[in-house]
Amino acid sequence: MEYLKWSSGDGIATITLQRPPANALSSGLLRELAGVLDEIEPNRDIRVVVVHGEGRFFSAGADIKEFTTVKSSDGFSNLGKFGQDLFDRMEKFPKPIIASIHGASLGGGLELAMACHIRLVSETAKLGLPELQLGLIPGFAGTQRLPKYVGVARAAEMMFTSEPITGVEAVQYGLANHAYPEEEVLEQAYKLARKIAKKSPIAIKAAIELLNYAKTEEFYEGTKREAQLFGEVFVSNDAKEGIQAFIEKREPNFKGE
């Protein structure tokens, strides 16, 4: 694998994002993640999964430069649908998935984290969906999952302003379970994983299935529409300006077209 590595021991699988400098979520990384899940799911020795990022970040977002290679609305919609399906699979995965978050979990990185069953964060981590800063919108079900955790008003503020919240705030708002000093987050994730790994895999699988009934039909209608609008927005002139401004490290000049 080029963008991920994974290992297992004592009933715990560790998936490490390793795409420096920011562990950006490229289509290649997402395909590798799907492949790792294929290997882990039937492995009866693995009870819990921990996901974390190598280096300074959990994941600072999607690969914006890769977006410049996609030319059509349908291409972007298909990319959004692929990410949505993968993250929906994670949320329904029969083994608990714990995200160990440090540094930054932004855009697609936060969408990945929100697909995990449990999120542990460093106190100073930055979590947010800054896509509107680029004239874009979240496309991996972020518009549907974030309100589920923090409420519609808080989600609206986070998306409209593109401003992240801290790990401590994420716990306060219900987006994360616990916040720790950065050097302790991963070990706390393993501590929690070891506790969960002692439970019955049959009961855990049943609990995960039942938790997913909390998602309404409107959630799936919302993700379907999100994928469609993800494609439409990405081919707008504003999106082209936002992406170019990001690459050139300048403020975008949006014109509403």
Catalytic residues: 111, 131
Task: Give the tokens for residue 164.
Answer: 């992240």
Quick check: 137 and 230 in contact, CB under 8 A? yes
Please report the DSSP string for the chain in residue order. Answer: --SEEEEEETTEEEEEE--TTTT-B-HHHHHHHHHHHHHHTT-TT--EEEEEESTT-SB--B-HHHHTT--SHHHHHHHHHHHHHHHHHHHT-SS-EEEEE-SEEETHHHHHHHHSSEEEEETT-EEE--GGGGT----SSHHHHHHHHH-HHHHHHHHHH---EEHHHHHHHTS-SEEE-GGGHHHHHHHHHHHHHTS-HHHHHHHHHHHGGGS-HHHHHHHHHHHHHHHHHHTSHHHHHHHHHHHHTS-------
